[in-house]
Structure formats: C-alpha cells, structure tokens
Structure 1
Amino acid sequence: MKLWETITGSDLTKEYQAFETRAEVLPADYRAAWEEIKGHLFPYGDFSGRNLMPILDSALELLEETASDGQSIHEVLGGDTKGFCTALAGGEGARSHRDRWREQLNRNVARKLAQLGG
C-alpha cells in the first residue's frame, strides 16, 4: 500500500467498490442482506473504516459461497442479521464508536467537574 493511498483513503474506496461489484451478482435476497450487514457493521468502524474491510470481505465471501451452494439467506443468517454482525464485530458487548465517544465524553465532563469543584 502506498503512503498517498493510505493518507487519502483511495485504497479503501477501490476495495469498497470491488465489494459492491462482487455483491451485484448475488441473488436479490442476498443483496438485501448485504445492505443490512453493511448498515449494522458501520457503527463498529474506526474513523477511517479500515478495520471493517477484512470483516466486510469475510461476510461477502460467506454470502457468495452460500449463494452458490443454493442455501437460503435465512439458513445463512438465521433471521438475525444484527446478531450476526455483532458476532462478526467482536461478539456480544462489542463497543461501537458511539460507545467509545460516550465514555470519553463522560470522562472529560467528570474531570472538568472535579476541577471546578475543588
């Protein structure tokens, strides 16, 4: 990976476009599941989203393989797309960026209040 690509994120754009190209050939119900998976995984991304690329690749690969095997999307995800994504992102209780920001904000407010109080 070149430094400029890393700085600008153009490598991520290319990789994401490649994911979308791969997803276009999936059956309609699988494409709908892919959209849901992306929506549920994005909150677990870091600032650049770079940490999600291997997770998205694995999820898409699973969809491609199971679609080619003729399985239904319900057999693959079990009707719980959100739970599936939580497991992919690190299991139950995996912290999203909102959780991390909320904790940081709470720490900062508590510190400021402590400074004001004495």
Structure 2
Amino acid sequence: MNIWEKVTGSDMVKEMKALEWRAAKLPADYLAAWEEIQANLWTYADFSGRNLMPILDGALGLLEEMAMEGQTVQEALGNDIRGFCSALAGDEGAKSYRDKWREQLNHRIAKKLNGQGAKK
C-alpha cells in the first residue's frame, strides 16, 4: 500500500469490494447476518476503520465456512449478533467510538472545571 492509497482510503475500498463480492455468494440468511455484523462492528472502528478490516475478513471467513458445513446462522453465531460483534471487537465490554469520545469529552470538561476552581 502506498501513501496515496492510505491517504485516500482507496485500499479500504478495494478490500470492502472484495469482501462484498465474497459475501454475495453466501445464502440469504448468512448474507443478512453479514450485513448485521457489519452494522454492529463499525461502531468499534478507529478514525479510518482500518482496524476492522482483519476482523471483518475473519467474520466473513467464519460465515463462509459455516455455510459450507451446512450449519444455520444460529448454530454458527448464536442468537446475539451484537454480543458476537462485541466479542470480536475485543471484550464483552468493548467500547464503541461513541463511548470513547464521551469519556474524552467528560475528561476534558472535568479538567477545565477543576482548573478554574484551582485558580480562584
């Protein structure tokens, strides 16, 4: 990957197109699960989303393998896709970008408020 691809994100576009091409071959119930996995995982993305590319690739690989073995989506992922995605992203208590931004904002506000109180 060259610097231009990294700056423009064209490398990620290529990767996502390849993932979508693979996902299009899945049975309908697996394709619906894939779309739900994507929707839930993107909340754990960093600024660029590059941190999710290997996770998405692995999740799609799991779906492809389970579909080839003839398992149902529930057998492969269980009934809690959101929990599955949380576990993929790190831990059961993994924080989304909203949680991280909220903590950062609260920290900055507390720092400003504490700084003003000390100046008096």
Report the equivalent of 1:9: 9
The SS at the match of 1:92 is coil
- The answer to whether structure 1 residue 23 and structure 2 residue 23 are counterparts is yes
Gaps of 5+ in 1: none
Report the equivalent of 1:65: 65
Q: Deviations over 1:59-84 (max 9, x none)?
A: 00000011111111110011110111
* TM-score, scaled relative to structure 2: 0.95
Report the equivalent of 1:111: 111
Q: Deviations over 1:55-114 (max 9, x none)?
A: 000000000011111111110011110111111000211111111111110111011112
Give me the whole-angstrom Cα distance separating, in 1, the residues matched to 2:104 and 2:66.
Answer: 41
Give the percent of matched residue pairs that are identical in Structure 1 and Structure 2: 63
* TM-score, scaled relative to structure 1: 0.97
How far the C-alpha of 1:115 sits from its partner, in A, is 2.3
Give me the whole-angstrom Cα distance separating, in 1, the residues matched to 2:114 and 2:87.
Answer: 38
Give me the whole-angstrom Cα distance separating, in 1, the residues matched to 2:103 and 2:74.
Answer: 36
Runs (4 or more) in structure 1 with deviation over 2 Å come to none
How far the C-alpha of 1:117 sits from its partner, in A, is 1.8
The SS at the match of 1:57 is helix
Give me the whole-angstrom Cα distance separating, in 2, the residues matched to 1:84 and 1:110.
Answer: 34
How far the C-alpha of 1:53 sits from its partner, in A, is 0.2
- The answer to whether structure 1 residue 83 and structure 2 residue 76 are counterparts is no
User: CA RMSD, aligned part only?
Assistant: 0.8
Q: Quick one: which amino acid aligns to residue 98 of structure 1?
A: R
Give me the whole-angstrom Cα distance separating, in 1, the residues matched to 2:117 and 2:91.
Answer: 40
Report the equivalent of 2:93: 93
How far the C-alpha of 1:49 sits from its partner, in A, is 0.3
Give me the whole-angstrom Cα distance separating, in 2, the residues matched to 1:60 and 1:46.
Answer: 20
